[in-house]
């Protein structure tokens, strides 16, 4: 069986962005809790909140991931700014019926001294043959 050719890197990226926007709408203006009373104790809780339900949402379109979304939590891939903001990249591959359809890089912007995020996670989708930074020398 061949994968659905309408499932492009752009489609996957757009679907993830829509999911993030839906989740953002559930946050209170403080950014530290949700409208239904869920509180966050650190920035990692927010990343988990943004990604909750995404795998199920994409599975409805037949899309799975090679690693759980957004990808492995690797300390070596964090850029630190002098102003205290950090950006960590997570990589995974989106699959349709087991065939790669997109390489995804999720940029997670955060600070270690506060719960709130300086900006929403950003996803960049590449063609499935984009090099995997984890396997490069």
Residue 135: inside a domain:
no
pLDDT tens by residue, 1-40: 444 557 899 999 999 999 999 999 999 999 999 999 999 9
Residue 134: inside a domain:
no
Residue 137: inside a domain:
no
Q: In the chain, pLDDT over 90 holds for what percent of residues? A: 69
Residue 35: inside a domain:
yes
Domain count, the chain: 1
Query: What Å distances lie between residue 15 and 5, 6, 18, 50, 85, CA to CA?
Result: 16, 13, 5, 13, 27
Residue 108 has pLDDT above 60, yes or no: yes
Query: What Å distances lie between residue 111 and 23, 48, 80, 86, 125, CA to CA?
Result: 20, 15, 9, 6, 24
pTM: 0.85
Q: How far apart are CA 34 and CA 102, in angstroms?
A: 31
Residue 136: inside a domain:
no
């Amino acid at each position: 069986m061949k994968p659905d050719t309408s499932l492009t890197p752009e489609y996957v990226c757009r679907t993830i962005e829509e999911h993030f926007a839906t989740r953002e709408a559930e946050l209170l203006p403080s950014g530290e809790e949700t409208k239904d009373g869920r509180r966050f104790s650190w920035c990692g809780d927010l990343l988990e909140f943004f990604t909750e339900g995404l795998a199920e949402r994409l599975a409805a379109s037949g899309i799975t991931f090679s690693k759980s979304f957004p990808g492995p939590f690797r300390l070596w891939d964090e850029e630190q700014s002098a102003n205290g903001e950090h950006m960590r990249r997570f990589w995974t591959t989106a699959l349709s019926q087991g065939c790669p359809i997109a390489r995804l890089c999720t940029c997670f912007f955060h600070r270690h001294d506060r719960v709130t995020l300086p900006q929403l996670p950003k996803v960049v989708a590449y063609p499935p043959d984009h090099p995997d930074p984890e396997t490069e020398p």
